[in-house]
A and B are shown apart, each in its own frame.
Chain A
Amino acid sequence: MKEQGTPDIRRTNTKAAGVGIALSLAACLFILLLAIRAGSVYISLPDLFKIIGSHITGKPLPAEVDPMSDSIFWSIRMPRAITAFLVGGALSVSGAVMQAVLQNPLASSYTLGVSSGASLGAGFVLLCGFSVAGLESFMLPLAGFVFGLLTVALSILLASRIDRSVSNQTIVLIGMILSLFVTGIMNFMMTFYGDRSKQLWLWMTGSFSARNWTHCAILFVTGLIGFIILFMLSGRLDILTFGELQASSMGVEVKKTKIAAILVASLLTGVSVAFAGVIGFIDLAAPHIVRKIFGPSHRLVIPMSFIYGGAFMALCDLAARTVLSPREIPVGAVTALVGAPFFAYVFFAKGRRKL
């Protein structure tokens, strides 16, 4: 047991929380700059800011900046790092919300079949060559997104048919069953199109290479909308962690809140999976680490999960593209390889198993 009066952000100490937030933001900014600058081509910080400045203000690039670095940093590295950040943030927020809603520390929207559904969608596009005219370059993310959300919607629909109160166990079980079933369909398809499965494998292990500003913009807008809705639900999410019966007796509309939160969280995951492929682990780890530092109150957990998850993803992508350069490691492999031991350390080192 901790002694009373120990400085600890979790213990209603607003001053400490403020310092914690400021430090986290600073660290996050540092990581983002690192993720943009590190690599085979070097750029000085002032030059980087000049490039960003010229694009924001619309003024021509100052003569002393190499136009080559402009195209490398503005068109390749920055959108890539920012996409990674947004995807990491969205996944983590989604994980934090799922864990609260399902009162299950191991839950995430992947549990409900988002990733397997999205993979099946991508499979249709890649293996069968299915496409809609005019949307060719967006077919993969679009199909991943639609199939991912369809799978979650189907999970919830089935769960509410089987169990009128839509209990958490039913949702998790149905989600797992659907996931396995969908994965089965996928593997079945792959036996017919074995020659194209390499491309599908690449997508399923996640990557941020060749992302552009359009991807960033779409992610930013959907991420922002989802974030605002979930942040508005944060008081209700706090109460939901005490269990549905207690939440209901304290005045929360449990079923409505739950379905809204699950759908919005799945939307966040769906968009992320659509643009980056399937990247596990961050949605599980980041919220746990944030709760360790800031406590379980969702008004802090939701924004901080975004920051921590985003920064962690930017770092993992940096590792993915630099460690074995010029070869690229699938970022999903990096998140799990780096994240799992780190998570185990954070979780068990201090002998506190609770969230």
Chain B
Amino acid sequence: MELLLKNVSAGYGHEKVLENIDLSIKEGETVFIGGRNGSGKTTLLRVMAGLMPFEGSVTIDGKDISKMKRRNAAQLIALMPQAGEMYFQYTVFQTVLLGRYARSGGLFGSFTAEDREFAKSCMESCGVYEYRDRLLGELSGGQLQRVLLARTYAQGTPFLFLDEPGSNLDIKYRAELCDYLGKWAGEKTSTPYGEVKNTVVAVFHDLGQARSVCGRTVFLKDKKIIADGPSEEVINPECLKQVYDFDVASYIEKQLIVH
């Protein structure tokens, strides 16, 4: 299965954030999307998941994502959003269980015992099972982020799109997140379209995290892809300088000197 973008442009209002993007992501890949603030990383994830209007074509398994039924698309791609304000006070368990909607939720939004079991295992992987009866408003930023991560896992899709999944996590949870994603990426998921190798596409700000999870790196700048290749080749001092407009390598080096 392949996710294919051809000549894709997208933006908000009249302003384009992405222009003429061509990109192919094959099942089983782990892709890091990098770039400065406002370089279009989040927009690219949303376009690839079929969540916002765009020009050009985005297909998954040869099917036009913008014409797919949302339920079918949500059986293949799950997107973990950046955490925002939660107005309605669902419990952690209810929230994670809602992730099963595309795979199970019938007319009345009912869930089976299997769904509950699946949701439970996702909560355990994210370390939130012990908070299952808490309301969302009672969680810290990091806990909420792990709940949203668990809900994203609960969708049970082979394509996992993560938008800064580690931003509010402490260092231990970040390490666990990387471990989990690394292990998960080597496995397969059964979908209504057959078995598909697990695929991660993630936006990180922490380059170390990005390298530990993702074998491939795509850098965005000025509405375009300016670098795309194996992470160990693309993430080099020269390239980073160009992407982030300053000497990233020597900055990181300075940070790591322990007095």
Contact = CB atoms under 8 A, between A and B. Distances in A.
A106 to B, nearest CB: 11
Nearest to A253: B70
Contacts, number: 113
B138 interface: yes
A173 to B, nearest CB: 17
Contacts of B101: 235-236, 239, 250-252
Given A249-B81, A251-B70, A355 B88 contact: yes
A249 B74 contact: yes
Contact of B93 (A12, A231, A291, A352): A12
A297 B93 CA distance: 12
B34 interface: no
**Most chain B CB neighbours (cut-off 10 Å) among A165, A239, A298:** A239
B208 interface: no
Interface in B64-118: 69-71, 73-75, 77-79, 81, 84, 86-91, 93-94, 98-99, 101-102, 105-110
A295 interface: yes
B65 to A, nearest CB: 12
**Most chain B CB neighbours (cut-off 10 Å) among A164, A232, A245, A251:** A251
B155 A250 contact: yes
Given A11-B133, A12-B132, A12-B133, A241 B78 contact: no
Interface majority SS (helix, strand, loop, mixed), chain A: loop
A172 B94 CA distance: 29
A235 B108 contact: yes
Contact of B90 (A13, A105, A297, A352): A297
Contact of B88 (A13, A231, A291, A352): A291
A252 B70 contact: yes
B182 interface: no
A214 interface: no
Contact of A245 (B51, B69, B74, B132): B51
A234 interface: yes
Given A12-B93, A235-B110, A249 B88 contact: no
A232 B108 CA distance: 5
Contact of B91 (A234, A295, A299, A355): A295
B109 A238 contact: yes
Contacts of B91: 10-12, 295
B135 interface: yes
A245 B43 CA distance: 12
A250 B74 contact: yes
Contacts of B93: 12
Contacts of B102: 250-251
A239 B86 CA distance: 12
Given A251-B73, A251-B101, A241 B84 contact: no
7 contacts: A103-B87, A234-B108, A249-B74, A295-B89, A295-B135, A296-B88, A355-B88
Interface of B: 46, 49, 51-53, 69-71, 73-75, 77-79, 81, 84, 86-91, 93-94, 98-99, 101-102, 105-110, 132-135, 137-138, 155
Interface of A: 1-2, 4-5, 10-13, 100, 103, 105, 164-165, 231-232, 234-236, 238-239, 241-243, 245-246, 248-254, 291, 295-299, 352, 354-355
